[in-house]
């Protein structure tokens, strides 16, 4: 089953305009004209098709990887609320992770809270791409995990309408 990486990274809200998602990997050029790229993909765990965080890298087209770090979902409380509701505790297989298996119509990362991850990526990008985050336009848009409730009528009608 797909990871819906494009929707994940849209929901994450990284503001770089010059970016794309290829497969399950996000690529961006935070500073136009700079050869360095920001690359973000899912960090696997020891369990097959289970992901415990994001691997964030700075890559250069000629010299390869410049720097790399892993931002775990547990450290950034991405699934804290979901794990509390489902009574998942640290050390158990699904705590702070998601896998590729999910119900039809749901994202595999259903219940994720992205604020901690977004702040960590912002801090990381400030080290390697100073000022790029501040000059970028936020790209947040409602993702597929946002529930849109119907608006009730302003006042009840006296009769039935067809």
pLDDT in tens, 143-157: 444 444 444 455 555
Mean pLDDT of 28-53: 88
pTM here? 0.76
Residue 86 phi/psi, 5-degree rounding, is: -90, 5
User: What residue spans define the domains of the chain?
Assistant: 5-134
Q: CA-CA distance, 38 to 61, in Å (whole number)?
A: 11
Comparing 106 with 150, the larger pLDDT belongs to 106
Comparing 129 with 43, the larger pLDDT belongs to 129
Comparing 73 with 25, the larger pLDDT belongs to 25
Say which residues have a Cβ less than 8 Å from residue 39's Cβ, sequence separation at least 6: 25, 26, 27, 56, 57, 58, 59
pLDDT in tens, 72-93: 887 766 777 666 656 655 555 5
């Amino acid at each position: 089953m797909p990871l819906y990486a494009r929707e994940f990274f849209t929901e994450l809200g990284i503001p770089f305009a010059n970016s794309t998602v290829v497969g399950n990997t996000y690529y961006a050029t935070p500073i136009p004209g700079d050869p360095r790229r920001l690359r973000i993909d899912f960090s696997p765990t020891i369990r097959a098709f289970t992901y415990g965080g994001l691997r964030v890298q700075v890559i250069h087209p000629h010299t390869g990887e410049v720097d790399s770090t892993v931002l775990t979902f547990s450290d950034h409380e991405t699934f804290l609320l979901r794990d509390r509701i489902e009574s998942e505790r640290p050390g158990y297989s699904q705590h702070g992770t998601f896998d590729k298996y999910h119900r039809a119509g749901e994202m595999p990362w259903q219940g994720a809270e992205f604020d901690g991850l977004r702040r960590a990526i912002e801090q990381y990008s400030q080290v390697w791409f100073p000022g790029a985050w501040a000059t970028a336009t936020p790209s947040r848009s409602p993702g597929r995990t946002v529930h849109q409730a119907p608006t009730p009528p302003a006042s009840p009608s006296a009769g039935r309408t067809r």
